[in-house]
Homo-oligomer: A and B are copies of this chain.
Amino acid sequence: MVNTKLPIYLASKSPRRRKLLKSIKLNFKTFSVDLAEEVFDAEHPIKTVKRLANEKLKQAEKSINDAIIITADTIVVLDNEIIGKPVSKKNAVEILSRLSGNSHLVYTGYSIKNLVSAKQVTDYAKTKVKFRELSKKEIKDYVDRGSPMDKAGAYGIQDDYGSVFIEKINGCYYNVVGLPLSKVYQSLQEVI
């Protein structure tokens, strides 16, 4: 599907992003960037995720040559507030209680750069996610399983509980998992 002689690097530690790119049969290597992901309240979420994807790209460029690099950043926004990864189990329960019965937004920004031609695309996708009302027991059970801890918004749409928490979405499903596959695929073709 994607034809290039250049190696492709996914500069992301997220196992979900790796799985998504594997699902479209892409050959790629992974590379970890360490970035203090600073967010500013006054900054619009679209700006935030594109800026963070770009900062990750710049970081990765220092160590990689003659390749295509993909970076991404996903945030969850509820009532204009960015909801990060939970800092504790108690915090995960708080986050899920706030998401319960409400709609929130998921933004993923991504940057793709061909280091040989210097062609670059930085873009984003937005998906609205509606949770059904969750019971306290459902939230407790989910948090006890440990699944929420490494995820923005304290849930995974693709995991066993996450999938039954969500009533409907409006936008790209894979964006909520961590990478808007359809857009990323098209952007990849653009830089090749």
Seen from chain A, the residues whose Cβ lies within 8 Å of a Cβ on chain B are 1, 23-25, 127, 132, 141, 157, 160-161, 163-174, 181-182, 185-186
Determine which of B127, B163, B182 lies in contact with A174 in the assembled complex, contact meaning CB atoms within 8 Å: B163
14 more A-B contacts (CB under 8 A) besides A127-B168, A169-B171? Answer: A1-B141, A23-B163, A24-B160, A24-B161, A24-B164, A157-B173, A163-B174, A163-B182, A164-B182, A165-B182, A167-B182, A168-B170, A168-B171, A173-B173
Look across to chain B and name the residue whose beta carbon is closest to the beta carbon of A175. Answer: B168
Q: Bound state CA distance, A28 and B188, in angstroms?
A: 41
Chain B residues lying within 8 Å of A157, measured Cβ to Cβ, are 173
Chain B residues lying within 8 Å of A141, measured Cβ to Cβ, are 1
Closest 6 CB pairs of A and B: A164-B185, A173-B173, A170-B170, A163-B181, A164-B182, A24-B160
Chain B residues lying within 8 Å of A132, measured Cβ to Cβ, are 182, 186
B164 touches A173 (CB 8 A): no
Would you mind naming 29 contact pairs between A and B with Cβ atoms under 8 Å apart? A1-B141, A1-B161, A1-B164, A23-B160, A23-B163, A24-B160, A24-B161, A24-B163, A24-B164, A25-B160, A132-B182, A132-B186, A157-B173, A163-B174, A163-B181, A163-B182, A164-B185, A164-B186, A165-B182, A166-B172, A167-B172, A167-B182, A168-B170, A168-B172, A169-B169, A169-B170, A169-B172, A170-B170, A173-B173
